[in-house]
Amino acid sequence: MEAIVKARKEANKVRKIVRNQDTAAEERRLAAEERKVALEERKWPGSFCDTKKGCCFPDTGKPATDFGIHGLWPNYAKCKTRGELDGALEMVTKRKKKCWPENCNSERLKLWEIKDLVTELDANWPTLACKGGKSIEFWTHEWEKHGTCSNLDQHGYFATALGFKARHNLTGILADAGIVPSDSETYFLSSIRDAIKEGTGFTANLECNRGVAGETQLFQVYQCIDSAGENLIDCPLPMQGNCKDRVQLPAF
């Protein structure tokens, strides 16, 4: 009896490994064939911290009052329903729609591959999560989940994200339009969207969250990048961003 139980456990392990391999292979196929756009996601630190969950600073200290990089996410040209996904992938996804590939291979982030970028990454891609306190853990997560589907090597993935942030200073663009951090002022969402389009030349997607007092805050800006990874484009994938007509940009 014990031998039978052991055999069943081993068989389940094998099935799980095969299923994971099938899923990763399907993710790679979809990423290679159908990736038409990438999103660079940037978060406002004041909105991240002004929640019931709060935030913690990384071991490098308090980040700058600036939109920090959250990630660079390859996306499908069109979100897929579960019925459009192949078998192995359909079994493991619980979302009704899937808009991006994930974990396309098991390549781990190697710090020495990006050692010349670490200073820039610390300044522009800091973690604010209250676990670990090291931004390298954040970068590792983003590389493994999204970077492995980007068709870029590790250095290229992070350098591309840093390059777009340097070229498009969202904090400065909003400030030029009179939209500055404040715990009392509110701004029309349309004014924020228009300012970003005026400053970058392209339409971005906006996401909001709720502050401790329940106020609506600009949380993240999604900028869309062409499939070559070279230029911004108008975001073709509208999103439900939980925003209202007027939002805050809280101080940090």
Catalytic residue among 40, 142, 207, 215: 142
Residue 223: count of CB within 10 angstroms of its CB:
23
* Main-chain dihedrals φ then ψ at residue 159, nearest 5 degrees: -65, -35
Cα-only R_g, the chain:
20
| Rounded CA separation 196/186 (Å) | 17
**142 class by beta-carbon count within 10 Å (0-12 exposed, 13-18 middle, 19+ buried):** buried
Whether the CA torsion 67, 72, 75, 81 is positive or negative: it is: negative
What SS3 class is residue 201?
A: coil
Catalytic residue among 102, 144, 146, 215: 146
Catalytic residue among 70, 144, 168, 207: 70
Question: Is 141 assigned a catalytic role?
Answer: no
Question: Is 70 assigned a catalytic role?
Answer: yes
Structure tokens at 37: 């756009």
Q: What is the DSSP-derived secondary structure letter of residue 117?
A: G
Question: Is 155 assigned a catalytic role?
Answer: no
Q: Which residues are catalytic?
A: 70, 142, 146
